[in-house]
Structure 1
Amino acid sequence: MDTTLPRLDRALAEPRHLLVLAAEVLPEEVEALAVSHFDDAGWTGLATLRVTGEAQLTGPWQVDDAVRSGLDLPAWAVAAMLLRCPVQRSAPVPPELRGMGGLLDAFPEGEPVGLERVVLDHLLAQARRLGGALRVAGTGTVLVPDPASAVDLTVHTTVWLEPEACGRVLAPVLPGLAPVDVPEASSPGDRVAVDVHPLRARAAAELDEGERAWLHAEADALDDAVLSRPQVLDGYAHVAAVPGGALEVSVAGDEHTPRVLRALPWARGGVISYEVRWRPDDPGLALGPRPPLAVRRDREEVRGIVEGVAAALHAVVGGQIVDDDAFLVAVESLTP
């Protein structure tokens, strides 16, 4: 514990949301994650970090034994940052939406909306990335997201791999890979006739039989030319069986720049995204708040596979790797 930090006062902390941190987390890491999501994030003064808009984190504050016990914080909690943010709540959460974990269970009398919801979602993502926790005001619920629950990764780049080339890149790290079927080009019997220019269409009624036959032949030739061109894919996918389900690698272009990449010149014209996603057999169980041990073991094995796939793609197409919370992931941190 950094004993030079000011001690967190329980009376000050209890009515506020808290981002709870372990000893190894630095304030600069919290700032970097905030900046990756929000244009106006950054330090505005000593120990004051604007998240976005009117939302500010102060601290870090030292968490001593008394505050840790009084606020029911995890044993590893040694520091916390206190959130100052306007309170914005909806109507009470319907009973059928309770019991699923997360923010809805933490706010049964009215879930956060507006700026408060945006910031709490962000801080919950920070807690998952940093191995921390989020204590919410009011109910005092302490949310400790499992860092291992963040399985999926996306490689953003400007390099397009054709389906066959992508398959060759992935084959060594993803045995049993197969392309997902895409709709085949229309057969001649399913053709839709190419429209004739409107002026020619109106004039056709005035043509003799030979001229009309010539016009129809021209239209049929244009139709054949269009249908014979190579099919341009907007995207494609490959899939392979993995423990507890399937792994899908989907590829598509997006003309919009992901926010986390907005400062990178190469991404300003849009990106090609290679999404590497686990599709568990039982999503409700695998992606729920408390999956059983066997599912957690499958998830951990798949996580290593996902990292290997993302690293293999990055080695060929470059770009940046991003997790499902839209935070950058260093390729050096991935499973080789």
Structure 2
Amino acid sequence: MTTRRELRLQREAAERAAREQADAARYQVPDTQAKGTPTPSAYASGVSKATGDQAVPGAPAPVPETQAPEAQAASRRRTGMPSTGRPGYGGGASAPEDTATSADLRGFHLILLDDAVEVSDVLALIHNKLPDLRPALDEHGQMRLSRHSRLSSGVTLDPADAAALEVPEWARHAIVIDCPRDRQPTPPPDWFADSDGLHEAFPNGMPDREEERMLSLMLSVASRLHTGVRLADESGLPTRVIIPDPEAKVDLYIYSSYWMEPPVALDFVRRHAPHAFQQALPTPDEDVLAQASIDDPLFDPSAPVVLDGYALLVPLGEIDETAGSLEIRVMEAEWVPPIIAAHTDAPQIEYHVHWMDTESKRYQPNQRRRFRRMRSQVARLTDAIGAELLVGSAGIGLDENGFLVTSRQLRS
């Protein structure tokens, strides 16, 4: 049976292939026309050497001889942005005609929904992250997210609206987020790469403070629902639509009031990873023990060690040589997520199932197919181990985005 996610991936692949084919056709210039292409010096004078005509003010600049049309189309495809006539894209195609709805929405960040997702699904997920907020809209169809930000139920998008906003064809509804524009004063460094591509969407300065919190919330919701986010239009920047990779967040967090001793937790883990083992505990040398005895006369070096945390390791070499390992970190939680704190005051033990590949690539964007395939296998193992720990500890599970998960969801 084909799952909803598989249908979505197939649809996105088909849309991407169609867009690339259209780009190639749009920027293909016949040989007879290419021979008459003016030289770069002609652009400076505003006169075409081929025809002698004056350049028309505001018209698209001709393609220089030094860069073939095919190369221009390819460079646009590498940015992940659709080729349109809007500022920042280049090309001679005109932008889709605005509609009344698209004109009203351009100045806001939008959560895009497809036919299978309801506004109530978004509100329920926001309640996971912000449990103090009631997951319902007020009489004005709005929900206040913070002192400075609010959510609106938004509008239904017809095909003309979607085309004008340059969002994927599956987008049928847009939820509006009205929040401040807070930016860092300097561009992100060259070495920085955000897993969702925010460093490319905000080349002049990453979102900061309130806007960063709201965009983080929006992207986590879109990731969980397999949808996307359209960023508000800004002068000098192209249309920016971010489709988070829903498989990129692998880690699991389990919170429980019960402490499981290492052999007990290891038994649960070994049901799916027989080669798992406990990381060796550090042992103090004799000088440290002697000094401790001097500092504390009641100190007994022969007394058993009382653990306040430990780690279990699962090597993943059987999946792939670059898969790295899973580490199950167990300790008393220093910080408890709001959705957990809202339901209990008891101290919580955190069981964190953490994955890191050998090359530390998991948080980088635009992963290759081999890496995604390997990551999918790791995620299945992570979910299986997480389900065992969740049931064994009688705890509450959260995914890496901070949303509640059940053992049944992890085992499906």
How does the TM-score come out when normalised to structure 1? 0.83
1:111 corresponds, among 206, 212, 215, to 206
Deviation at 1:240, TM superposition (A): 1.2
2:360 corresponds, among 270, 283, 304, to 283
Distance change >3 Å, CA 40–CA 318, structure 1 → 2: closer
SS in 2 for 1:54: coil
2:197 corresponds, among 92, 102, 118, to 102
Equivalent pair of 2:131/2:339 in contact (CA under 8 Å) = no
Equivalent pair of 1:171/1:177 in contact (CA under 8 Å) = yes
Mapping of residues 29-44 of structure 1, within 5 Å: 29-42=121-134, 43-44=137-138
Q: Do residues 249 (structure 1) and 348 (structure 2) align?
A: no
More strand by share: 1
- AA at the equivalent of 2:403: F
**Total equivalences in the alignment:** 302
Deviation at 1:258, TM superposition (A): 1.9
In structure 2, the partner of 1:147 is: 246
SS in 1 for 2:247: helix
In structure 1, the partner of 2:34 is: none
In structure 1, the partner of 2:313 is: 239
Distance change >3 Å, CA 231–CA 135, structure 1 → 2: same
Deviation at 1:290, TM superposition (A): 1.1
- AA at the equivalent of 1:69: A
Aligned identity (percent) is: 28
Q: Do residues 272 (structure 1) and 349 (structure 2) align?
A: yes
What whole-Å deviation, never above 9, does each CA across 1:84-125 have from its counterpart, x for those lacking one? 112222213145156655223212223222211111111111
Distance change >3 Å, CA 193–CA 61, structure 1 → 2: closer
Q: Do residues 56 (structure 1) and 132 (structure 2) align?
A: no
Q: Do residues 319 (structure 1) and 395 (structure 2) align?
A: yes
- AA at the equivalent of 1:191: A
SS in 2 for 1:24: coil
Mean alpha-carbon deviation: is it higher for 29-38 or for 143-152?
A: 29-38
In structure 2, the partner of 1:263 is: 342
Mapping of residues 1-336 of structure 1, within 5 Å: 9-42=101-134, 43-97=137-191, 100=194, 102-137=197-232, 138=234, 139=237, 140-187=239-286, 190-195=289-294, 219=297, 222-223=298-299, 226-242=300-316, 243=319, 244-265=323-344, 268-284=345-361, 286-335=362-411
Mean alpha-carbon deviation: is it higher for 300-309 or for 69-78?
A: 69-78
Structure 1 portions without partners, runs of 5+: 1-6, 198-218
- AA at the equivalent of 2:113: L
Deviation at 1:277, TM superposition (A): 1.4
Equivalent pair of 2:157/2:173 in contact (CA under 8 Å) = yes
- AA at the equivalent of 1:259: P
In structure 1, the partner of 2:69 is: none
Equivalent pair of 2:230/2:241 in contact (CA under 8 Å) = yes
- AA at the equivalent of 2:395: G
Equivalent pair of 1:255/1:270 in contact (CA under 8 Å) = no
Deviation at 1:304, TM superposition (A): 0.8
Between the aligned partners of 1:155 and 1:21, the Cα distance in structure 2 is: 29
SS in 1 for 2:411: coil
Between the aligned partners of 2:160 and 2:271, the Cα distance in structure 1 is: 53
RMSD of Structure 2 on Structure 1 (CA): 2.2
Equivalent pair of 2:384/2:410 in contact (CA under 8 Å) = yes
What whole-Å deviation, never above 9, does each CA across 1:214-242 have from its counterpart, x for those lacking one? xxxxx5xx44xx21111111211111122
Between the aligned partners of 2:100 and 2:339, the Cα distance in structure 1 is: 32
Q: Which has the higher contact order (CA 8 A, sep 6+)?
A: 1
Between the aligned partners of 2:211 and 2:288, the Cα distance in structure 1 is: 57
SS in 2 for 1:227: coil
Structure 2 portions without partners, runs of 5+: 1-98
Distance change >3 Å, CA 249–CA 95, structure 1 → 2: closer
